[in-house]
Amino acid sequence: MRRSACLIPLAVAAAACGGDDPPPAPTTAPLYADGAHLRDAQGRIALLRGVNARVEGVFDVTFDDGRTALEPIPALDAADCRRMRELGLDLLRLPINWSGIEPERDVYDEAYLARVDAAIDCAGDAGVLVLVDLHQDAYSKEIGEDGAPLWAIVPAPEMLLEGPLEDLGARRTSMQVTQAFNTFFDVDDAAGLQAEFRDMLAMVAARWADHPAVIGFELFNEPSIGQDEVDVFTAAAAETVRAAAPGKLVFFEPTALRNLFDFVPLAEAPFATDGAVYAPHVYTFVFGADPTPLEQLEPADLEPSVVNARDEAAAWGTPLLFGEYGVGPDTPNADLWMGVEAELHDRYLASDAFWVWKERSQASWGLYDYDDATGAWTERPRVVGWLSRVHAARIAGEPVANLWDRTTGALRLEVTPGSTHGVPHEVYVPEAAAATYTVRCDGAAVTPARDAATGLISLPCDGVLEVTP
């Protein structure tokens, strides 16, 4: 059933319902949710442009019993984190794994948690915000790729797997994985696994409840079960996070089936826990068996998934963040796919996190090429160009339009006159345009300085702001 109150218009995702000023931000949160948008301490709409990074020692795909690791995972260092910020990527979605946190029941691995600390601090020191993501793929490294510890696989697996990981698709649909998901998401939690998971989740949330870079916690990556079961799990897990970290946001996903069908049924009531953010993934046509839709891609083909996601978020009464999206460098029409998605995410005021920063396994997606002979990572200018673009990072006032043009690279941001109260917008300008960009406010040329470390320009404009690279 469609909830009737305050659905976001399709042409532009407008400001939150009603005319009241947004509530003040919690003191421990860099951002807060007002029911439609993420906002910063000045009340500005925050549009995050981020990236996922699988981090060596954090993305848990190794074994201590002699089995071959599933895949190599890149390290993350200060240069990576600084480079993210320079490219305009102000959010790190950081996948962490239950198997690393709690390898034995009720035993938390402090060495693992310290490695997560280091990754969070790396991002925070560079001015990059962090979304801590409780990640899984095919339930567990023991039978799939990553996720749950061995003791949390019920029924116990008949066969433990190892690397190299060359059959992830088959693992995702295996009987072992299917049974494990069915047991975990049993709405009665007969095996007690959801209760165990919530205990772990409470510890994780409490550990980083006061970290200034952490915006929140994502409950479960790509839950491979029906939406009804996901909703039961999510409701309880969200309460757990907010109780342990009341100043942080809670990010939640729909069933992973949305990745294939580009929609889920609309919620019948708003999300029950405050501070929630709807975080689906968008991979329209990317993982289909038939390459024809990508080969014959038209811009209009990609809009329905984004529109559906905006409606889904509105039904929940939450902001929208695409926790994953992207294509590989060899995907047909990759430039068009990424350009159109960027236009749509801006137009519908959705934050996002690209998959993935670096990858030297599977399809080798990401912003970098890896040289096996030298061990060197080299930026892919084409992929950097997809992501490092002019965009509004913080919008003051009530937005009327937030339009980026993939052909010119220019941004046109319009707000309702009188709504900004002198609060400045923040716009990212890529380093490639540092010497050439132009800015106009209501047609008049202005010359705001660009911060070299962040790429941001800051200026008030109570009408139409145009930024051209």
Average pLDDT over residues 41-52: 98
Cα 138 to Cα 54, 141, 238, 351: the distances in Å are: 16, 8, 22, 26
Q: Is the pLDDT of residue 271 over 70?
A: yes
Q: What angle do CA 368, 374, 377 make, to 5 degrees?
A: 15
Q: Is the pLDDT of residue 20 over 80?
A: no
| Average pLDDT of the chain to the nearest whole number | 95
Angle between helices 175-184 and 193-207 (to 10 degrees): 80
Q: Distance (Å, rounded) from C-alpha 247 to C-alpha 242?
A: 7
pLDDT of residue 16: 39
Q: Is the pLDDT of residue 14 over 50?
A: no
Beta strand 45-46 with 391-395: parallel, antiparallel or unpaired?
antiparallel
Over the stretch 292-345, which tens digit does the pLDDT of each residue have? 999 999 999 999 999 999 999 999 999 999 999 999 999 999 999 999 999 999
Q: Distance (Å, rounded) from C-alpha 457 to C-alpha 443?
A: 18
Q: Is the pLDDT of residue 205 over 90?
A: yes
Angle between helices 193-207 and 227-244 (to 10 degrees): 40
Q: Which residues pair with 441 in a beta bridge?
A: 444, 465
- From the number of C-beta atoms within 10 Å of its C-beta (0-12, 13-18, 19+), residue 107 rates as exposed
Over the stretch 98-147, which tens digit does the pLDDT of each residue have? 999 999 999 999 999 999 999 999 999 999 999 999 999 999 999 999 99
pLDDT of residue 18: 40
Residue type, 44: R
Running DSSP on this structure, what letter comes out for residue 46?
E
Q: Distance (Å, rounded) from C-alpha 203 to C-alpha 199?
A: 7
Q: Distance (Å, rounded) from C-alpha 263 to C-alpha 376?
A: 40
Give the N- to C-terminal CA distance of the chain in Å, as an integer.
44
Among the listed residues 431, 463, 47, the one whose alpha carbon sits nearest the alpha carbon of residue 446: 463
Over the stretch 166-195, which tens digit does the pLDDT of each residue have? 999 999 999 999 999 999 999 999 999 999
Q: How confident is the model at residue 432 (pLDDT cuts 50, 70, 90)?
A: very high
Q: Is the pLDDT of residue 5 over 60?
A: no
Q: Is the pLDDT of residue 3 over 70?
A: no
Q: How confident is the model at residue 28 (pLDDT cuts 50, 70, 90)?
A: low
Q: Is the pLDDT of residue 12 over 60?
A: no
- Cis peptide bond upstream of 469, omega within 30: no
Q: How confident is the model at residue 47 (pLDDT cuts 50, 70, 90)?
A: very high
3-class DSSP string for 350-408? CEEEECCCCCCCCCCCCCEEECCCCCCEEECHHHHHHHCCCEEEEECCCEEEEEECCCC
State how far Cα 324 lies from the chain centre. Answer: 5
pLDDT of residue 6: 37
3-state helix vs strand vs coil in the chain, percent to 5: 30, 20, 55
pTM for this structure?
A: 0.95
User: Which tokens go with 180?
Assistant: 């494990």
Which percentage of the chain shows pLDDT scores above 70?
Answer: 94
Domains of the chain: 32-388 (3.20.20.80), 411-468 (no CATH)
Q: How confident is the model at residue 29 (pLDDT cuts 50, 70, 90)?
A: confident
- Cis peptide bond upstream of 164, omega within 30: yes
Q: How confident is the model at residue 393 (pLDDT cuts 50, 70, 90)?
A: very high
pLDDT of residue 25: 46
Running DSSP on this structure, what letter comes out for residue 266?
P
Among the listed residues 381, 281, 267, the one whose alpha carbon sits nearest the alpha carbon of residue 2: 267
pLDDT of residue 22: 47
> Sign of dihedral through CA atoms 94, 98, 101, 106?
positive
Cα 249 to Cα 276, 353, 440: the distances in Å are: 6, 16, 35
Average pLDDT over residues 355-375: 97
Among the listed residues 74, 25, 42, the one whose alpha carbon sits nearest the alpha carbon of residue 367: 74
Q: What angle do CA 253, 259, 262 make, to 5 degrees?
A: 95
Neighbours of 401 (CB within 10 A): 14
